[in-house]
Amino acid sequence: MKTTKSTKLFERAKNVIPGGVNSPVRAFKSVGLDPRFIKKARGAYLWDVDGNKYIDYVGSWGPMILGHAYPRIARSIHHATKNGTSFGAPTELEVKMAELMTTMMPSIEVVRMVNSGTEATMSAIRLARAYTGRDKIIKFEGCYHGHGDSFLIKAGSGAMTLGVPDSPGVPKALASETLTARFNDVNSVRSLVSEFGSQIAAIIVEPVVGNMGCIPPKPGFLEELRAICTREKILFILDEVMTGFRLSAGGAQELFNIRPDLTTLGKIIGGGLPVGAYGGKREIMEMVAPAGPMYQAGTLSGNPLAMAAGYEMLSILHKQPSIYKKLERRSRRLEEGIRENIARLGIACTLNRVGSMFTLFFTDRDVYDYESATASDTNMFSSYFRGMLDRGIYLPPSQFEAAFVSLAHSDADINRTIKAQRTVFESLLK
Ligand SMILES: *Cc1c(COP(=O)(O)O)cnc(C)c1O
């Protein structure tokens, strides 16, 4: 596979952009390669600047649930640009967007739009602190909630592979307000709550973790967290930036029947444009300015192009719930093929999948938390990743990220992926 143009662009990029990229995982650092610079995308495919074509399982890290350049979404963005790209004043589309979101996710009674998932979680935590008058939060090891200071403590995603789970630059005093528990371990939460209970404003969790690879919650785990929060008057925040509108039309909270106090959203709700949102119980959200005293603002929040893309995306998902059945069927077909490959070739792997999110961990142990995820053989993963990329299969370039199936992945794409994987597995055994 020829990659000379990508390599040249990366050299130029490194000179003027930190590490050559605008977000760390894109650099392919943990798999020992230079990144491919992408020229265009359509449906399930990416094309790089050297003309190589890939079946894409990254999907812009989540938003592309319908596939790239989905015609209805592209049209609505195009149409919106004709009427101006930003007003700094309210629009009807923001009202329609908020109404649709509150209909699809009933735990959200009132919602505020922002510009990224990071902004959503940062604001939600400030709100929880403002509402409860408490300062501490509990997060889980390996969960990622964006790059806000309070969350860069044992964080997942790029922070995990870069080996900086605790970033320099986060004030010690603030870091000490973040308590970390183990995912799928209620006792680790109970002991923090018994020590710090009346100081804890919120527990924030990815209901299905995507950011240390895909890790589902054990039965009862989310329910227990909900019960602890209710008992201790702690706000329960589901970070559905990744799972929202991906695992069902009502998100993970519908799938697991959990009612959080606040929800954070991003990725899919922007239809590929930069968007985030946080929302929840009316009584809590009434704290947000200008309804209440907790300050949070944004020059481009509710941007008309982003709202056009997001509203079209959510309308499609709302009106066609069969999309989730289709996604499940295709994802299951992929899972079955991968399991066949694992069994046939005896590779030490664990596959976790929830709906259209999955991760293949290079360990034969169950993966259910940070520690078991990091037992994976990352060298083996890198070889696997490179082999797949060489065969035109574009996976997340890290052991600790979830891959995504989209509606655009055809049975033929899935079959090609399974076949490529068999060849790569065979070469790994040599
Ligand atoms: C991606 C992600 C974020 C951060 O969103 P950005 O838009 O990248 O700032 C927060 N939480 C979760 C669960 C995510 O997957």
What does the pLDDT look like over 166-209, one tens digit per residue? 788 998 889 899 999 999 999 999 999 999 989 999 999 999 99
Instruction: State residue 155's pLDDT score.
Output: 79
Q: Is the CB of 266 under 6 A from ligand 1?
A: yes
Cα 120 to Cα 67, 116, 240, 290, 402: the distances in Å are 24, 6, 10, 17, 21
Q: Write the single-letter amino acid at 307.
A: M
| Claim to verify: residue 254 and residue 357 sit in the same structural domain | no
**Domains held by the chain: number:** 2
| Claim to verify: residue 372 and residue 268 sit in the same structural domain | no
| Cα 210 to middle of ligand 1, angstroms | 10
| Cα 276 to middle of ligand 1, angstroms | 9
- CATH number for 401: 3.90.1150.10
| Claim to verify: residue 191 and residue 124 sit in the same structural domain | yes
Q: In the listed set 319, 344, 362, which residue is the last one of a domain according to the structure? A: 319
Q: Is the CB of 401 under 6 A from ligand 1?
A: no
Residue 70 falls in the annotated catalytic set? no
Q: Is the CB of 312 under 6 A from ligand 1?
A: no
Residue 5 falls in the annotated catalytic set? no
For β-strands 178-181 and 38-42, DSSP reports them as unpaired
Q: In the listed set 285, 319, 353, which residue is the last one of a domain according to the structure? A: 319
Instruction: State residue 13's pLDDT score.
Output: 98
Instruction: State residue 332's pLDDT score.
Output: 98
Indicate the burial class of 393 (C-beta count within 10 angstroms; 0-12, 13-18, 19 or more): buried
Q: Is the CB of 116 under 6 A from ligand 1?
A: yes
Instruction: State residue 159's pLDDT score.
Output: 67
| Claim to verify: residue 155 and residue 247 sit in the same structural domain | yes
| Cα 200 to middle of ligand 1, angstroms | 23
Question: Pick the catalytic residue: 29, 136, 154, 267?
Answer: 267
Q: Is the CB of 131 under 6 A from ligand 1?
A: no
pLDDT by residue (tens digit) across 39-67? 999 999 999 999 999 999 999 999 999 99
| Claim to verify: residue 123 and residue 249 sit in the same structural domain | yes
| Claim to verify: residue 347 and residue 217 sit in the same structural domain | no
Residue 144 falls in the annotated catalytic set? yes
Q: Which residue's CA lies nearest to atom 15 of ligand 1?
A: 242
Q: Is the CB of 206 under 6 A from ligand 1?
A: yes
Low-confidence ranges of the chain (pLDDT < 70): 159-165
Buried b or exposed e, range 282-298, using 16+ CB within 10 angstroms:
eebbebbeeeeebebee
CA 298 to chain centre: 22
Q: Which residue's CA lies nearest to atom 6 of ligand 1?
A: 117
Q: Is the CB of 145 under 6 A from ligand 1?
A: yes
| Claim to verify: residue 160 and residue 277 sit in the same structural domain | yes
| Claim to verify: residue 65 and residue 93 sit in the same structural domain | no
Instruction: State residue 91's pLDDT score.
Output: 98
Instruction: State residue 157's pLDDT score.
Output: 73
Instruction: State residue 255's pLDDT score.
Output: 97
Closest alpha carbon to 207 in 194, 225, 180: 225
* Domain, as residue range, for 51: 4-69+321-428
Question: Pick the catalytic residue: 144, 368, 370, 394?
Answer: 144
| Claim to verify: residue 11 and residue 52 sit in the same structural domain | yes
| Cα 187 to middle of ligand 1, angstroms | 27
| Claim to verify: residue 244 and residue 330 sit in the same structural domain | no
Residue with tokens 């589309």: 93
Q: In the listed set 319, 345, 361, which residue is the last one of a domain according to the structure? A: 319
